[in-house]
Amino acid sequence: VRLVESGGGLVQAGDSLKLSCAASGRIDSRYHMGWFRVAPGKEREFLGAIAWSSGSTRYVDSVKGRFTISKDNAKNTVFLQMNNLKPEDTAVYYCALRLGAGNMLLSAYSAYTDWGQGTQVTVTV
């Protein structure tokens, strides 16, 4: 499955952005989609994930209330809505895919098998 992210850009603190992750192959109920980011000089960070079948979501505490993951089954696309962006949100954002069981959404990047190329988000003060 090929994943392509889009929607990144340069914004000011307090702005919003909505990232998209389009999957080329058919995504079915067996899959989980995750969002990660890599900030300059930092390790890859799990942001959240969604179960394709149920729509159940999980978020890391640092983005709860600001970031929302959703999906469009018909378009095989997952979204990451980011509100009230902060300079520390500056990073390359990646979506990733894994075969999952039920609603057990994992945060470890090693659990995900397919990755997009990433999209840059830069937040200025």
Q: Assign 3-class secondary structure to 30-48.
A: CEEEEEEEECCCCCEEEEE
Question: Among candidates 46, 28, 29, which has minimal Cα distance to 37?
Answer: 46
Torsion sign over Cα 17, 18, 23, 24: negative
Helix (H, G, I), strand (E, B) or coil at 86: coil
How far lies 46's CA from each of 53, 73, 74, 75, 107, in Å?
21, 23, 26, 24, 6
Cα–Cα distance for residue pair 21/91, rounded to 1 Å: 16
Local confidence pLDDT in tens for the 125 residues of the chain: 899 999 999 999 999 999 999 999 778 888 999 999 999 999 999 999 999 999 999 999 999 999 999 999 999 999 999 999 999 999 999 999 999 878 889 999 999 999 999 999 999 99
